[in-house]
Each structure stands twice: as C-alpha cells, then as structure tokens.
C-alpha cells in the first residue's frame, strides 16, 4: 500500500494554499487526488518562486502527488464532465469562488459525496470581497497579537490560517467518510479561514472573553511565561523557554548557576517574572552574551530547560533531527524534485516518497478513465 487512504478518490477545485494544502495531505496519505485546473493553469503555477521541473517550488510543495485535469468550467459541457466525475469520487475539496460543486448538486446525483468547502469567511457570510491569508490575519485579530508594545502589527511569515483551514478540512472530511460507513450518506462541510485564525488564537481570545482585556504584545517573549524568548550568545542566537516555576528553578540552578534568583521576590512565581521581565532580562542577557551558543544549549539540555539554536534552513535540513527522521526527500527519490516528507508516520501503511507536482493536464485524464471503469 502507498498509505492508509489508498483507493480514496478525491477531486480538488479552486486555488490558494488552503485548498492545495488539504489536497496535498490527502495525496500524501495515499488518496488519488485530481486537481481541476482552468486552461491557463492554477494561478500558483505563476507565483514568483524558483522553478524546477516546469513549475515554481511553491507549487510543487503544495501539489505533489496529484494528477491535473484541465476543464473550462465556464462551458456547460465541461461542467457536465465535472458532474459525471463527481459520481465516481469519494470527496471534494472545493475552494471555487461560488461553491461550484454545491451548485451542481442537481446534476451530480452523488448523495455519497463528501464536500469540504473552504472559503475566507464561510458559506453563510454572503460576501464576494476578495481576501488573502494576510487579510484574514489582520481582520481576525491574529496580526495584532504579534510584535511588541506599540509597534505595528506583524504578519505571520507563513500562511498559518490557510494551513490550519486545509488541515481542518481534511480532518472533517475523514470524519464524514467514517460516518458514511453507517448510512452511505455524504456530507457538506463548511471551513472558513477566518474561523481558523480566531480559534488558533484560542488562549488570547479566551482571556479577552473572560476579562475583556487585550493581550499584551511581547514579540518573541510571552505574556504567559518568563523568561521566554530569543537570546544572543557570544556567537549566535538561541531560543529558550523557562515556563513555570519548576523549569525556572532548573534554569536558575543548573544553567545560570545563580540560585540566589530563587530568593528574589521580583521573580517569585511566574506572574511576578512576567511583570518584572525587564529586570530579569537585565540580569540574564549579559550573562548569555558571555559564552558561545553551544555552551548554553549543552547546559539547558543537561539541566532540563527547553531550548535550542536558531537555525537557518540550510542548517535545519542537515541537522540530526532531520537526518534521523529522513525528512528530506532527494530529487532522485522525488521524481526530480527534492522535498520535505510528510511528518505523519504509519507503521503498517507507510507513505510513499512524495513525487513532483503534475505538469498542466498531466495524469488527470488517465486517472479519470480509471475511475470510470470501476
């Protein structure tokens, strides 16, 4: 087997990282995923990125292992082709602008179909306002929690609401497919990027709902724990998290070798350390700068304090954690395109090595023909 979802037939319609991420995860787990593209191809094929094997790297990252089928869905005949295809599929990831799959319900005659619809604001919010992942980060309050003090809000470098929405769509689809085993009925699932962004901010949102206060902005630090953040050693940066009194005790005794800090009332308890974070940083920052990074990381690892080096990607891909887990797939293994392996591990149904994304129109007709024969 090529994964636990081998034999599952999925159609992917629509553009953007959320839809592509959902389809990629299903493909990684062995599902046959047919990506429906317009004649000019998915817009992601034209994103500015390093090109390899006929497509940008970002397209390969989010579309590996899929087949591509070109349909001009503005044409009634091509919509009928899609409706017929839906009868053979198990599920659809639908990010089309106006809910095309739902609109085809009378024609598709596929009560078994599980449709996971991904939109910026949800299907019950009637809006045609364009929205990007960054728009959702801004509107949901996510962006306002990043940064420090009165500095401008900071966008997350990666499209986290989109990735979370894609992951939720997969989770919901698999749950609906399990439920289908009982009655044979499909399901319509509604996933919104806005909802995802708000729930990812769960503890900040919960604090506001309870006391009405906006969360403080601590940059690389935290309003909930101290000391926590990015620190400078004499030769590079590292991250350290001393959350909670037990870890704080280990930090003071085993790493800083300053047990007297445990008797200082300014730092007695996590809340006190958060309030007096500037005083605490004034003590530990100069100390950290006095020794190389390896010195502090060794002391943290030996002393029971979470922390690690701030690595560049060129360091991360060859780090022991990456090598021992076999996370990097070489170009030879990946059909000409190097990539990062799916993080899920299945003992009895191991995942196949990820392959490159399809060229426009490649693989779709053959996959559809195979589906029609079953």
Q: Each residue of 152-183: pLDDT tens digit?
A: 888 988 899 999 999 999 999 999 999 999 99
Shared domain for 183 and 276, answered yes or no, is no
Percent of the chain with pLDDT strictly greater than 90: 68
Q: Is residue 221 part of a domain?
A: no
Q: Which domain holds residue 29?
A: 9-200+327-372
- Mean pLDDT for the chain overall: 91
Asked if the model's pLDDT at residue 17 lies above 60, the reply is yes
Number of domains into which the chain is organized: 2
Asked if the model's pLDDT at residue 374 lies above 70, the reply is no
Shared domain for 46 and 178, answered yes or no, is yes
**pLDDT value at residue 205:** 81
Segment 65-84 mean pLDDT = 92
Phi and psi, residue 17, nearest 5°: -65, -30
Cα dist. 265→139, 221, 247, 275, 358 in Å?
A: 40, 21, 17, 12, 62
Read off the pLDDT of residues 88-147 as tens digits, 9 standing for 90 and up. Answer: 999 999 998 777 777 776 666 788 999 999 999 998 876 677 889 999 999 998 888 888
CB–CB of 230/307 below 8 Å?
Answer: no
Q: What is the CATH number of the domain that holds 182?
A: 3.40.50.10540
Shared domain for 184 and 244, answered yes or no, is no
Contacts of 121 (CB under 8 A, 6+ apart): 127, 131, 192, 193, 194
What gap in Å lies between CA 374 and CA 359, rounded to an integer?
26
Shared domain for 284 and 349, answered yes or no, is no
Percent of the chain with pLDDT strictly greater than 70: 98
Residue 255 Rama label (left phi>0; alpha psi -120 to 50; beta): alpha
Shared domain for 60 and 153, answered yes or no, is yes
CB–CB of 329/338 below 8 Å?
Answer: yes
Quote the radius of gyration of the chain (alpha carbons, Å).
25
**pLDDT value at residue 128:** 73
Q: Is residue 216 part of a domain?
A: no
Asked if the model's pLDDT at residue 1 lies above 60, the reply is no
Per the DSSP assignment, residues forming a β-bridge with 94 are 13, 117
Q: Which of 264, 286, 314 lies at the terminal end of a domain, its last residue? A: 314
Shared domain for 308 and 339, answered yes or no, is no
Number of other CB atoms surrounding residue 6 within 10 Å: 13
- State whether the Cα torsion 319-154-236-227 is positive or negative: negative
Read off the pLDDT of residues 225-283 as tens digits, 9 standing for 90 and up. Answer: 899 999 999 999 999 999 999 999 999 999 999 999 999 999 999 999 999 999 999 99
Q: Is residue 208 part of a domain?
A: no
**pLDDT value at residue 107:** 61
Global model pTM greater than 0.85: yes
Shared domain for 85 and 34, answered yes or no, is yes
Shared domain for 189 and 239, answered yes or no, is no
Shared domain for 139 and 99, answered yes or no, is yes
Shared domain for 55 and 111, answered yes or no, is yes
DSSP secondary structure string for all residues of 104-119? THHHH--TT-EEEEEE
Segment 348-367 mean pLDDT = 91
């Amino acid at each position: 087997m090529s994964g636990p979802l081998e034999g599952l037939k999925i159609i992917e319609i629509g553009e953007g990282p959320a839809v592509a991420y959902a389809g990629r995860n299903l493909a990684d787990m062995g599902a046959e995923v047919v990506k429906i593209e317009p004649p000019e191809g998915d817009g992601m094929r034209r994103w500015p990125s390093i090109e390899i094997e006929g497509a940008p790297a970002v397209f390969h990252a989010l579309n590996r292992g899929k087949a591509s089928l070109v349909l001009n869905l503005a044409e009634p005949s091509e919509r009928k082709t899609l409706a017929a295809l839906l009868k053979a599929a198990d599920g659809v990831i639908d990010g089309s602008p106006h809910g095309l799959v739902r609109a085809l319900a009378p024609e598709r005659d596929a009560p078994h179909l599980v449709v996971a619809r991904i939109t910026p604001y949800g299907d019950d919010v009637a809006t045609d306002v364009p929205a990007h992942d960054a728009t959702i980060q801004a509107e949901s309050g996510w962006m306002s929690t990043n940064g420090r003090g009165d500095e401008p809000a900071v966008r997350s470098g990666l499209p986290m609401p989109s990735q979370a929405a894609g992951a939720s769509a997969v989770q919901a689809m698999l749950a609906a497919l399990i439920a289908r085993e009982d009655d044979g009925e499909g399901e319509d699932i509604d996933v919104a990027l806005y909802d995802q962004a708000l729930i990812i901010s769960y503890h900040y949102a919960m604090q506001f709902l309870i006391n009405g206060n906006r969360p403080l902005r601590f940059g690389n630090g935290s309003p909930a724990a101290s000391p926590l953040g990015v620190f400078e050693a004499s030769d590079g940066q590292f991250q350290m998290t001393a959350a909670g009194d037990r870890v704080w005790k280990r930090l003071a005794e085993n790493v800083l070798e300053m047990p007297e800090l445990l008797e200082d009332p300014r730092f007695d308890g996590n809340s006190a350390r958060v309030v007096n974070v500037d005083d605490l940083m004034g003590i530990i920052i100069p100390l950290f700068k006095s020794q190389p990074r390896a010195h502090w990381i060794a002391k943290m690892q030996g002393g029971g304090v979470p922390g690690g080096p701030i690595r560049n990607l060129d360091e991360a891909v060859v780090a022991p954690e990456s090598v021992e887990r076999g996370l990097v797939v070489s170009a030879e293994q990946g059909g000409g395109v190097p990539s990062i392996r799916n993080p899920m591990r299945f003992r009895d149904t191991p995942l196949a090595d990820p392959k490159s994304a399809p060229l426009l129109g490649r693989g779709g007709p053959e996959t559809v023909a195979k589906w029609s024969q079953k």
